Structure 1
């Protein structure tokens, strides 16, 4: 007799250890601790069932569970799985979710936004949404099948996991061992490095397969049935399919207490089993199943009806047998296959030629129904053939739509559009140039430059020439191929007819390349030429480009006041310009840098805040702007706020692949670690910088790296090593007429040269610095530097005292205290002990305020040699725990968090990054002894009172 099988009872079998781990993670979540769980395993092994149980248990405990799944035919849809998990829908009753959907659809693109800017904004909004949900209840965020996910979704998962480590959040992702892209592998590696727990679902044992069968059949499987079930290899989905197939075909019979099969002949694969079951379905149902499979593994009935050209009610009726056969199910108003393997079996059964036709027809029908181009791009990619010019046009438009939200998706669409063009098509070179630009925006720089070079080396369409050259310039700059960049600009200017804007763009790029490769004189010349062209053309946007290049060049040559004039003019013109798309990114950021170079730190920080509020280029320069502001905190001695910003800025630079900025972050952290006396940490931070400083070719920011490493070596007693690294960098800069880092290189180099008997070197350095002071007569620290160096060489006490007076006019910690200590030493040697002690006390006060305990200890030791016994150390009066132990920024962060603001909202109010907020909160939790934000919120009002 036939035996019925109820597949709705397929409870978890053989997963006790995995369930226990999931329960432990939920317990951690309830206790207020975040974590990440990665569940891996082959298709059908039970990943979905396990995460379903986690979500169900979370909801049973009054937690919030967001569940989304990536799909194989939606890889051209940015943030697809996150949209599903978080219900990012323009029809949502939540204005925040509707606003994110508008961003995804390009409805709120910022003027002048650059590639990836919208993606950054969407990710930040997603992080903010998840964080605000965590403030109301613990949250479980599940993203299934990330092996199918688009790159934007992967970035969002990583950002949520990394930024919300202090929230009540459990992130769960599932993945197959293959297929696995490099991006997916990198995400899983990053999650593992961040402490994610991994679960590898293994096949069920024979006893577990027997238990699963018993639950479904109500009786034990007999020996023959057990042998047939063993063909499933312990894969639960395959075991269920075998049992279902046997039951549907009445091939099961009861034998006493057991259930046996009347056949041992079954298909050798799950796909064949599915196809075998299709034989019992009506033709109309099979036709609709094929259309449904072509549309994807989870589709709307409306789309099926549109492509089938049938009324929706007929579609529902004709798909009924497929639902009865448990091939289909419904989820969130979509028709879904019971498993992707079921979908794959039906999809692969369609002849490849028929699949292409169906995909092409699906694209046409969906476009006619008003679907977004990105939602049908995958069908065009799979269905169009070479020569399909209509598909090429659609794909180019879809690539443009994806450019801001997901540059890698845009690049892939452009590749496909190019491949579909007929051979010898008139637009081939223009499309090729669009591919190059898309690759560049997606960060695939080497391929972009290689393609551009190949096209430019052969005959090509004139209209593609300039876009290709400009894209190649950008690629060469990103690869630091400065010699080739400079040559390309010169060749372009000499051989092709460029309009004023093209000339200015090329000259500006050449100027930066020359300046940063060690030829600031040449950089200034190129920038000046660009400025003359832009002014003659009365092109405001191009004038800003030229001024920005010029201010960098003259600043590197030590003419800081002149650079500030150019920076102010550029910022004013940019603010007045309507052509924001053509402007260089963040001219206000460059104004902030010029202000810092002129000792105007407060004005610089205001400029950085304005840059963060600007309406263009926000994501592009974000890490640079936040890093510069953190460095400003370091400069004025506000190290408590500087360090979290430097750490966060370094991480952001690492993610962007900016090694220069990463090393700069390390350098300033080395200064702080050395100043506080943590030489072990300083040495660890310095390790990556040593090889950088030992080469013949140094990076443009080598000055600050050398000063940091030299300071560490001097603190360790290695004066010769400190001297060597400073001298190497000094000589490198002098050969290139670069004066930018003289303020940090020169004083220590002069002092060490004198201590080691290199008086000629000290005199030469002092002379160079003295001549440099004439180039920036209005900058106090530059003038102070000249007096310090010459005073040390000449033993001129008054010059050193005057240097202190000038240093007091600027808020700089290191320049001020260094001048005080230099003058104090010479005053003491000349018997002016009281004056010496006063200056040491002045330095000591600033060291203690900054928390530079090691440097403060040095000043105290010098005071004791003068017979002066300083009072109790300043930081002894500073509590190490409780509200008063917090820095001003930590208090501000705590107050805003207590008001219910998310990290993103706090960051926007305080002009710091969400990563920095997270770092501050870690310190706050530690100092106040609280475990989470809720406990902090309860404590803050009491502390304020």
Structure 2
């Protein structure tokens, strides 16, 4: 191995001088700039990827890096975090053993896990540059792959170099990881091609210890420039010379030539090891041989002496995976299946978790193997919370092993529906359910299957079909009490989308009683959620709060729903307290939904900058876990924020994105939200007719008051209806606002919004004054500002100029304070018409680049990070999530044109004191 900065030796790096130069420059750049980078070393097996990676690690350590080195394994790709964990422990662990155990307990929350890993790496990077090196990334487990698509972006502002190796071929994990990082940090690919004839000749000389003659040169042409194959052919040359056999023409043949000189016991031992994987334990291989370990010591010694295995004192490792594959290829296929099945049985008998035996089950189980089915089901249960895709694959494979229409087939099928739905493969889940139901299961089983399909149908926005199925299953009877309770709760949820919510409410109450009587937790949760949805859709905010508070007490994961329910009743103090509690909760439950609740808090309190950050972060997290719950509504709100700011181009872009996302989840609520946003855009464009048309299309989705997104926007909708000369629509909207206020007599915002809508419809100055007075008790500054603006315009029309100027000035100040510059500009025009506008009323928008382009929160984060605080430390000080800090920091880096924390610190230090 060449020393760092020195010349290359015969370590297999002959002919790789250019690639080593690239890697060395990258190591120096990350250390110098303090910002992250990612590189993939890609090439065919045996081309020298591992050797180059090893050389990079040596050079990085010599340059002062902490280096974590790991290797993914083909037979461990199902075990969650198994690949990346190999990079995090060792002689100098990045995470101590206890911390890794803690991660193992909590890795059912992927976003939480990534943040925990990021914090550990970030803390280490604060003391010096870090190298994370992972070999054979094509075999990473799904949880490690998920982390590797997130961590480089999350840590791009820290000196962390990610160095991966992967085989050349079709798109896979390596390409996904590079693509995920490419837009946010330097991401490159080092492609290793065949070595030159000169380099192969030098390598041969290094191996043989003598000059290479023309005959050997000719023989090595068969290596095709592959250094590992060349070395193996040279080793085969020595074996062939001793045995009088011709030189092998390929790798498998070359290894066979070497194996022929081994004793039968050694060959059998190597084959058992090849079944277990590239690395394995001596007692496990002995067990597959059916021998006591002591009787195989000579076989082990011979395999190590032959250069086929390395022994680190704990595990045996094939010197190269190609060696293992060549040995494995000589085992007859039928024998392989039996050996893999035996390996799985042995691992489980030794106390290993089912997931650790799954790779062998997948290779060795035959139809009808109920023991294998049970292991696959247990493994699926274990991995479902954090790698639901893997769980779905395991249980669908288990389903294939069970004969059709057997009781076990239905049980496995029910589990498959749950797993497939969890990962978002809803159509596959529905198709699986159809297959099961076609076989006419017993009545009790049918009820369980329909209950399992409930979440699938709800996710697919098939509320009518959900109602039909649950009613049919309940009518049949015969299901267990807990199953009937779940079906009743699902029926109530389906009815929450119906025009008449009175039967829905009764169904929900009945379902709740049934759930409590059956003592079934899932039915209890489902019934409370259905009742909360029914109350929200009926506009009964106090009742919704009661339901969601009860739900959160039963299942803390629904805390975001409780927080939003408090916002609906204008209790922002309690919602703030709960948000702070959630941010400080290390469990990090449902991070995306918590960000949704936090974004709503900031939006309604007029903090547009922070609301925008929350919705951006929420959308990113939903994209990361591929669970698009609030994507449509987030884009609708971001578009509305952009219009308030006067950024028409950005607003239009968000509208287009909302329409795309609506096509994925076209439920009535999402449809109403997008149609209303289209009305707002049409109004901004001066197209009153189109605006009115879109509001009518909103009403087609259900009564206006049912859609929580629109509750505080009734005044805007009423103004649009009046502009479009549709007085009937305006009166209907006002009437619904009044009905909503009557349902919520203790909510100041509801009463004020209703008075405003009525005042606009009736052109009633007294009602508009009443609206402003009522909204004094509302915590929503933008709602108060809009009412004052309407009052000011009405006062101007009534020639009460002094009072009009006062109302308009207050409205202007509120819009300006929130950053609603377009709304402020409209009020400023009204002030000019009253002869009251001066330079003090002008609102100055932020520039797009430089320190003054940063929002208040971005400046706070920038100052804290420049002082040496980690993302977690800054989040704790600001009482927000690390994900929010990361979004602020990303925006600050872009606006300041910096790439690292060092550059940020230098810039902040040069700023004048505030």
Normalised by the length of structure 2, the TM-score is 0.89
Contact 1:131 1:167 in 2 (8 A): yes
Alpha-carbon shift at residue 331 of structure 1 (Å)? 5.6
> Aligned partners of 2:660 and 2:354: how far apart in 1?
49
The aligned counterpart of 1:55 is 57
> Aligned partners of 1:276 and 1:189: how far apart in 2?
42
SS of equivalent to 2:38: strand
Contact 1:12 1:49 in 2 (8 A): yes
Alpha-carbon shift at residue 317 of structure 1 (Å)? 4.3
The aligned counterpart of 1:18 is 19
The aligned counterpart of 1:480 is 461
| 1:844-863, Cα deviation, whole Å (9 max, x unpaired) | 22222222222222222221
Structure 2 CA distance for partners of 1:819 and 1:147, relative to 1, 3 Å: same
Task: Indicate yes or no: 2:809 matched with 1:841.
Answer: yes
Alpha-carbon shift at residue 321 of structure 1 (Å)? 2.7
> Aligned partners of 1:49 and 1:632: how far apart in 2?
53
> Aligned partners of 1:100 and 1:520: how far apart in 2?
49
SS of equivalent to 1:199: strand
Higher-RCO chain (CA-CA 8 Å, sequence separation at least 6): 1
The aligned counterpart of 1:37 is 39
The aligned counterpart of 1:163 is 154
SS of equivalent to 1:629: helix
The aligned counterpart of 2:564 is 593
Contact 2:712 2:753 in 1 (8 A): no
Contact 1:626 1:912 in 2 (8 A): no
Greater shift after overlay, 339-348 or 897-906? 897-906
| 1:102-152, Cα deviation, whole Å (9 max, x unpaired) | 543xxx46xxxxxx7354544333233222222222112122222222211
Alpha-carbon shift at residue 876 of structure 1 (Å)? 5.6
> Aligned partners of 1:314 and 1:882: how far apart in 2?
73
SS of equivalent to 1:9: coil
Structure 2 CA distance for partners of 1:543 and 1:279, relative to 1, 3 Å: closer
| 1:369-411, Cα deviation, whole Å (9 max, x unpaired) | 3333322232233334344444343333333333334333333
> Aligned partners of 1:72 and 1:298: how far apart in 2?
10
Q: How does 1:373-772 map to 2 (within 5 A)?
A: 373-421=354-402, 426-460=407-441, 464-516=445-497, 520=501, 523-534=504-515, 542-543=523-524, 545-571=526-552, 574=554, 583=555, 586-610=557-581, 619=589, 621-659=590-628, 661-690=630-659, 699-734=668-703, 738=706, 740-772=708-740
Structure 2 CA distance for partners of 1:489 and 1:927, relative to 1, 3 Å: same
Structure 2 CA distance for partners of 1:37 and 1:718, relative to 1, 3 Å: farther
**Aligned with 1:235 (options 223, 226, 229):** 226
Task: Indicate yes or no: 2:94 matched with 1:101.
Answer: no
Structure 2 CA distance for partners of 1:411 and 1:925, relative to 1, 3 Å: closer
> Aligned partners of 2:134 and 2:229: how far apart in 1?
23
Structure 2 CA distance for partners of 1:658 and 1:283, relative to 1, 3 Å: closer
> Aligned partners of 2:392 and 2:398: how far apart in 1?
10
Alpha-carbon shift at residue 798 of structure 1 (Å)? 1.6
> Aligned partners of 1:560 and 1:49: how far apart in 2?
64
> Aligned partners of 1:152 and 1:493: how far apart in 2?
39
The aligned counterpart of 2:747 is 779
> Aligned partners of 1:843 and 1:95: how far apart in 2?
54
Structure 2 CA distance for partners of 1:898 and 1:315, relative to 1, 3 Å: farther
The aligned counterpart of 2:70 is 68
Greater shift after overlay, 380-389 or 925-934? 925-934
SS of equivalent to 1:170: strand
Alpha-carbon shift at residue 544 of structure 1 (Å)? 5.1
Alpha-carbon shift at residue 343 of structure 1 (Å)? 0.5
Greater shift after overlay, 879-888 or 531-540? 879-888
Q: How does 1:103-118 map to 2 (within 5 A)?
A: 103-104=103-104, 108=105, 117-118=108-109
Greater shift after overlay, 127-136 or 383-392? 383-392
> Aligned partners of 1:222 and 1:95: how far apart in 2?
52
SS of equivalent to 1:85: coil
Alpha-carbon shift at residue 565 of structure 1 (Å)? 3.4
The aligned counterpart of 2:776 is 808
SS of equivalent to 1:39: strand
Q: CA RMSD in A?
A: 3.7
SS of equivalent to 1:77: coil
> Aligned partners of 2:404 and 2:666: how far apart in 1?
46
> Aligned partners of 1:488 and 1:763: how far apart in 2?
39
Greater shift after overlay, 496-505 or 829-838? 496-505
The aligned counterpart of 2:5 is none
> Aligned partners of 1:511 and 1:46: how far apart in 2?
62
Normalised by the length of structure 1, the TM-score is 0.86
Structure 2 CA distance for partners of 1:97 and 1:890, relative to 1, 3 Å: farther
The aligned counterpart of 1:819 is 787
SS of equivalent to 1:326: coil
> Aligned partners of 1:378 and 1:131: how far apart in 2?
34
Contact 1:747 1:788 in 2 (8 A): yes
- Aligned pair count reads 904
Contact 2:288 2:343 in 1 (8 A): yes
Alpha-carbon shift at residue 926 of structure 1 (Å)? 6.5
Alpha-carbon shift at residue 682 of structure 1 (Å)? 1.7
> Aligned partners of 1:522 and 1:270: how far apart in 2?
73
Alpha-carbon shift at residue 60 of structure 1 (Å)? 1.1
Task: Indicate yes or no: 2:216 matched with 1:247.
Answer: no
Structure 2 CA distance for partners of 1:631 and 1:870, relative to 1, 3 Å: farther
Alpha-carbon shift at residue 663 of structure 1 (Å)? 1.9
Alpha-carbon shift at residue 482 of structure 1 (Å)? 2.2
SS of equivalent to 2:75: coil
Task: Indicate yes or no: 2:763 matched with 1:795.
Answer: yes
Greater shift after overlay, 774-783 or 344-353? 774-783
The aligned counterpart of 2:886 is 918
The aligned counterpart of 1:259 is none
Contact 2:564 2:600 in 1 (8 A): no
Structure 2 CA distance for partners of 1:539 and 1:55, relative to 1, 3 Å: closer
> Aligned partners of 1:372 and 1:199: how far apart in 2?
38
Contact 1:547 1:570 in 2 (8 A): yes
Contact 2:309 2:317 in 1 (8 A): yes
The aligned counterpart of 1:124 is 115
Contact 2:812 2:841 in 1 (8 A): no
> Aligned partners of 1:880 and 1:215: how far apart in 2?
59
> Aligned partners of 1:469 and 1:695: how far apart in 2?
24
Task: Indicate yes or no: 2:826 matched with 1:858.
Answer: yes
**Aligned with 1:78 (options 80, 87, 98):** 80
Contact 1:586 1:611 in 2 (8 A): no
| 1:47-73, Cα deviation, whole Å (9 max, x unpaired) | 212222222211111112212211111
SS of equivalent to 1:472: helix
